[in-house]
Amino acid sequence: MKEALSLVQRLNAHPDSRCWFVSWSPNGALLASCGGDKAIRIWGREGDSWICKSVLQDGHQRTVRKVAWSPCGNYLASASFDATTCIWKKKNDDFESLTVLEGHENEVKCVAWAPSGNLLATCSRDKSVWVWEVDEEDEYECVTVVNSHTQDVKHVVWHPTQELLASASYDNNICLYKEEDDDWECRATLQGHTSTVWSLCFDATGQRLASCSDDRTVRIWKEYPAESGQDLSWKCICTLSGYHGRTVYDVSWCRLTGALATACGDDAVRVFKDDETTNPDEPVFSLAAQVNKAHSQDVNCVSWHPKEAGLLASCSDNGEIAIWRFQEDK
């Protein structure tokens, strides 16, 4: 395998703990990480290296599972096992806790902002997905609770441009939601994975969705014109199987290059590229890079930098963050 992924830096981000998730700010200037130590750390570039700019503590009583930046980059939301979601407001170089969203019965697993920044989605082990509306006064109000999944909901993600929400669950399914008469409804259930779906990512256009699972596969779904006029129509057009040795915990689709990165329980980071000459209804993805011992333990998250093509962040159960550079073979 050609060395297409090279290490830029390793950060001991959450010592003696897990690093569960990393998220780039919209302009790529900051990286937020969270973990089992209940803390959130904000990393910024200084010269050639990334350093810790601030530590957000005391916001949560238990593990912080995921973090998400608002599209404007001024707010950070954190989802925690303590059943709350905290909203942090950026003030100069620091962050202050603005509000705490309560309501889920138990662990909040994920949080995501809609592209407009006016809506926020959270999901939980209580099997529900909540949609929150944000007004000009920074007030948050829950507008819908959807119970389309029959099990623990692992991940929520918004379409890059539309108000379309997707969720992934322990019940092996993916649900897609749209607003209908002030209510959010599940408009499609994507079935195919044979075990827990851990994460989802739309491509740059939002016409395709990648999902990854405990069944050790990645599936690519594509939007088709709705047949009945009612439900949304998404079909699985490709399954990447045989590449991952254990559970695939995360998938990230680069909006600049189209490269698809995966985080796996076998400690490896992999990058796939699709051959653009193939039939768009039957795309062929091939492995473009693989780092076998990317981390010494499970890789939990991968995230492409939003502005700098090829820059990738990953994090692991060993508490580390790694920054990688992906260079394609020309």
Partner 1 sequence: MSGGTRLENANPGIFQRSGERLLTASEEDEDVHDPIDDREIFDLIRSINDPEHPLSLEELNVVEQIRVKVNDAESTVGVEFTPTIPHCSMATLIGLSIKVKLLRSLPDRFKIDVHITPGTHASEEAVNKQLADKERVAAALENASLLEVVNQCLSTRSI
Interface positions with partner 1 (CB under 8 A): 18, 36, 62-63, 65, 81, 106-107, 109, 125, 152, 154, 170, 195-196, 214, 246-247, 265-266, 296-298, 317-318
CA–CA distance, 65 with 300 (Å, rounded to integer): 10
Q: What is the side-by-side strand order in the sheet with 40-46?
A: 19-24, 30-35, 40-46, 49-56
Question: 140 has which bridge partners?
Answer: 134
CA–CA distance, 164 with 211 (Å, rounded to integer): 16
Of 20 and 304, CB closest to partner 1: 20
Of 203 and 298, CB closest to partner 1: 298
Of 119 and 321, CB closest to partner 1: 321
Burial class (CB in 10 A: 0-12, 13-18, 19+), 242: exposed
Q: Hey, what's the torsion of the CAs at 275, 276, 282, 284, to 10 degrees?
A: 10
Contacts of 181 (CB under 8 A, 6+ apart): none
Q: How far is the CB of 62 from partner 1 (least distance, A)?
A: 5
Q: How far is the CB of 297 from partner 1 (least distance, A)?
A: 6
Quick one: tokens of 96?
């202050």
Of 152 and 163, CB closest to partner 1: 152
Of 33 and 144, CB closest to partner 1: 33
Q: How far is the CB of 246 from partner 1 (least distance, A)?
A: 7
Are 255 and 304 contacting, i.e. CB atoms less than 8 angstroms apart? yes
Element (H, E) at 151: none
Q: How far is the CB of 267 from partner 1 (least distance, A)?
A: 9
Contacts of 20 (CB under 8 A, 6+ apart): 34, 35, 36, 63, 64, 65, 66, 300, 301, 315
Q: How far is the CB of 110 from partner 1 (least distance, A)?
A: 11
Q: How far is the CB of 185 from partner 1 (least distance, A)?
A: 27
Q: How far is the CB of 272 from partner 1 (least distance, A)?
A: 23
Of 27 and 151, CB closest to partner 1: 151
Of 25 and 318, CB closest to partner 1: 318
CB neighbours of residue 104 within 10 Å: 24
